[in-house]
A and B are shown apart, each in its own frame.
Chain A
Amino acid sequence: MQILVVDDSKAMRSIVMRAVRQAGYDVTFVEAVNGAEALKAIHASPPALVMADWNMPEMSGIELLQKLRAEGNAVKMGFVTSESDPGMRDQAFQAGALFMLTKPFTPDAMKAVLGPVLT
């Protein structure tokens, strides 16, 4: 199973990947630094799940999700972001996000969002 981790921070990509492994998932990772790079990676090899930051240069996480859905791509996607604004959560879920995990997150919070998505 492959997970695409999209964040402009290399440190945060590492933290997310480590947290997923610590949650007990034996997966491989692909990384992208923004939505535009993620879109290319998804077209090249659709992952089982996209975990994306919200605020990124070039193309944000929500722009990525909206673009995917506009082209009919139903790849599973959730956000790992410092944003917790209720309006943004609504926007994310209306666009088809499966979860919105707020940084800083605990290992239990990571497990809780991945459980329903990866089973």
Chain B
Amino acid sequence: MSGGLDHRALVGHLEEAFEEVARTALGQGDVSRPGHLDAPLPRWQGAYIGLVAAQGAFQLGIAADVAGCQLLAKSLMSMPESDPPLADAELADAVCEIANIVAGGFKSRARDKVGALTLGLPVFFHGPAQATEHTGVLVSVIRLGSASVALLLVHPRAQG
């Protein structure tokens, strides 16, 4: 916990928000939660979006390997998984939009714990968020059909 926010508790809201988006906007009925990781996986890519609360700021992320990101993006656009791969820009745009929608669902779920939250704009990234002395990364893995998707919460560590 830092700055009055229980980040670990917030991961549950992130999981719920992603699962709702997976079942609705992505049309994926086969969703499960196999568990948590201690660190993000190095070869994954995805999107981060910043959130600002009165108690502090943090980032939410959605990451997967290349095939997983293609599945996410094609699902959002109602494209069959067998279609040719999306171009990098289309992939990034779609995964960023998924992060944006998930962040909106997270925001409404976390309102009672966090109060008002301001959403930033999503950015696409390659590779893991690096935990440091000042920054912690919580990772939850969701199975989405054939893909594993990492949900990340990047937060400032408690000082002192």
Q: Which B residues are CB-close (under 8 A) to A87? A: 116
Q: Which B residues are CB-close (under 8 A) to A83? A: 104, 107, 119
A24 at the interface (CB under 8 A from B): no
Could you pull out 10 A-B pairs where Cβ atoms are within 8 angstroms? A8-B121, A9-B96, A11-B97, A15-B78, A18-B78, A82-B100, A82-B105, A83-B119, A84-B107, A104-B101
Could you tell me the distance in whole angstroms from the C-beta of B87 to the nearest C-beta in chain A? 11
Q: Is B121 a contact of A55 with CB atoms below 8 Å?
A: yes
A18 to B107, CA, bound (A): 27
Residues on B facing A (Cβ under 8 Å): 20-21, 24-25, 73, 76-78, 90, 93-94, 96-97, 100-101, 103-105, 107-108, 111, 116, 119-121
A66 at the interface (CB under 8 A from B): no
Q: Which A residues are CB-close (under 8 A) to B119? A: 55, 82-83
A106 to B78, CA, bound (A): 13
A41-74 interface code vs B (CB 8 A; 1 in, 0 out): 0000000000000011100000000000000000
State which residues 5-39 of A face B: CB under 8 Å: 8-12, 14-15, 18
Q: Is A11 a contact of B104 with CB atoms below 8 Å?
A: no
A81-119 interface code vs B (CB 8 A; 1 in, 0 out): 111110100000000000000111010000000000000
Q: Which A residues are CB-close (under 8 A) to B76? A: 11, 15
Could you tell me the distance in whole angstroms from the C-beta of B110 to the nearest C-beta in chain A? 11
- Taking A55-B100, A55-B119, A104-B101 as contacts, is the C-beta distance between A11 and B93 under 8 angstroms? yes
Q: Which A residues are CB-close (under 8 A) to B104? A: 81-84, 102-103
A85 to B114, CA, bound (A): 13
Q: Is A106 a contact of B116 with CB atoms below 8 Å?
A: no
A108 to B108, CA, bound (A): 21
- Taking A104-B20, A104-B24 as contacts, is the C-beta distance between A15 and B105 under 8 angstroms? no
Q: Which B residues are CB-close (under 8 A) to A55? A: 100, 119-121
- Beta-carbon nearest neighbor of A18 in chain B: B78
- Taking A84-B108, A87-B116 as contacts, is the C-beta distance between A103 and B93 under 8 angstroms? no
